[in-house]
Structure 1
Amino acid sequence: MKQALVVEDLAEVRDWLADIARSVFPEIEVHAVGRVDEALAVLATRRFDLALVDLGLPDASGIAVVRALHQRDPQCLAVVVTIYDDDEHLFPALQAGAFGYLLKEQPREALAAQLLRIANGEPPLSPPIARRVLSWFGQARAPVPLVPLAGEPEGARLTERETEVLQRVAKGYTLPEIAQQLGLSRHTVASYIKQIYRKLDVSSRAEATLEAARRGLVQ
């Protein structure tokens, strides 16, 4: 591994992923960006051996980056690193050409261990994702449609986990406190907060609190 691309819009999480990549592959040079359009621009001029790609990016779905990598440079190993563990994100990513799929909620050591599997030609998959894939192929189901290149509209419907995070944000808990209460890493909670703000079209804790109150999550 000589060149790696990290696509993640949260600076703290972006640095965290870049640091993990360097710890696993000491000789690797990491190029990090925060948007899909920036990633596509870089791909037009450079080649990469590894890419760590978030899905919830501000201008489009990270699946657009995975698909572009697969089409332009099939030798590059695109690994999704996300908070989403549902079929609607997992299978479109795999269909687009993702080599692996990791969940941010795992400790740093677990993520590093999964990436080390690449040296043996094994796809890095978080255990819950591996079980979901096996379960999927063990049942007869309709294929999941690919996410369009333009991105995926998310609307304002929150998942159960996002609702839990929003409620704690509205109650004034800090990011580390929320992480401790929910048994998640601070990077995972930061990603949830990012998605919540994007879905609700808010940009501050005060606005998020008002929306939480409107939904009856706080009094």
Structure 2
Amino acid sequence: MSIRVLIVEDNAVARSFLVRVVRESFSDEIDFTEARDLDSARQALGIGPSQRARPDPKGFRLILCDLEQPDGSGLELLAQLAGHPAIKIATTLHCDDDHLFPALQCGADGYLLKEDRFEVLVEELQKIVRGQPSLSPAIARRFLGFFRGIDNRGGSVDSSFGSLSEFGGRTLPAPLGSPAADMPGLNSRENEVLTYLAKGFTIKEIARLMGIKWFAVNDHIKAVYRKLAQHSSPDEALELHRLTRD
């Protein structure tokens, strides 16, 4: 049975490039649907502009969504996909945290920078699908600021450390909403990993500094992604992004 993949990208050359990246990344038979804008993507998903996408056993398993769309922001579609079991990946030409952090708050499981080399994109896509999303130093700093903001409001962040057959199933902003008391913040190990990432250390370097295996570092990063999803409302993240863009 083929794996269904949706690619939302207005540039035809970029769409073709992303199709090549996905084909190279997996040995599965893949059924591609290409959408040139948000309206076309919603038609493929069978939803309207304000509807949440519902799980479908025969639906898409992987969705790549460019953040800059001719009829709106890709964040809008990511917010509509919140809770959908597909692996959702934001694609963009912009590597700054102002573009990427809102995408993660809206439910993206990771991101790809379209200007990266083909081989790099293949490797990064495979990692995201395996549950090993990467974090740039800028994004790691945004994560730290987000969770430390929750800590300042009474959360549990420990700030003691210094400043496709294999498909599975995400300036400092203020935390969104009112996190429930039982929602977990970062533990000391997760905080330590983020702090090292924010300083530019690699996964292997962090593992050596912390005296743990590299895959344990990845586990901490995955845990941080999960906690961000627990604390973030996609709708509030989208609204905050709109306000900061106005």
TM-score range, shorter chain: 0.5 to 0.7
Deviations 1:137-182 (A, max 9, x none): 3345433862359x79979xxxxxxxxxxxxxxxxxxxxxxxxxxx
Query: Which residue is equivalent to 2:142?
Result: 136
Paired residues in the alignment total 149
Deviations 1:28-54 (A, max 9, x none): 211111100111111127721111111
Whether 2:18 is the aligned partner of 1:17: answer yes
Pairwise CA distance, 1:94: 0.8
Task: Output the CA distance in 1 between the equivalents of 2:129 and 2:102.
Answer: 25
Query: Which residue is equivalent to 1:5?
Result: 6
| Mean Cα deviation higher: 57-66 or 114-123 | 114-123
Task: Output the CA distance in 2 between the equivalents of 1:80 and 1:21.
Answer: 14
Task: Output the CA distance in 2 between the equivalents of 1:138 and 1:32.
Answer: 36
Within 5 Å, give how 1:1-219 maps onto structure 2. 2-26=3-27, 27-44=29-46, 47-71=59-83, 73=84, 75-123=85-133, 125=134, 129-139=135-145, 140=148, 141-143=172-174, 146-148=237-239
Pairwise CA distance, 1:110: 0.0
Pairwise CA distance, 1:25: 1.9
Task: Output the CA distance in 2 between the equivalents of 1:153 and 1:11.
Answer: 30
**Identity over aligned residues, as a percent?**
33
Task: Output the CA distance in 2 between the equivalents of 1:83 and 1:66.
Answer: 17
Pairwise CA distance, 1:22: 1.2
The answer on whether the counterparts of 2:90 and 2:110 sit within 8 Å (CA) in structure 1 is yes
The alignment's TM-score, normalised by the length of structure 2, stands at: 0.54
RMSD: 2.8
Task: Output the CA distance in 1 between the equivalents of 2:144 and 2:121.
Answer: 26
Structure 1: unaligned runs, 5 residues or longer: 156-219
Pairwise CA distance, 1:23: 1.3
Pairwise CA distance, 1:135: 1.8
Task: Output the CA distance in 2 between the equivalents of 1:119 and 1:78.
Answer: 9
Structure 2: unaligned runs, 5 residues or longer: 48-55, 149-171, 176-235
Quick one: structure 1 residues 142 and 63, their matched pair in 2 at CA, closer, same or farther if it must change by over 3 Å?
Answer: closer
SS in 2 for 1:23: helix
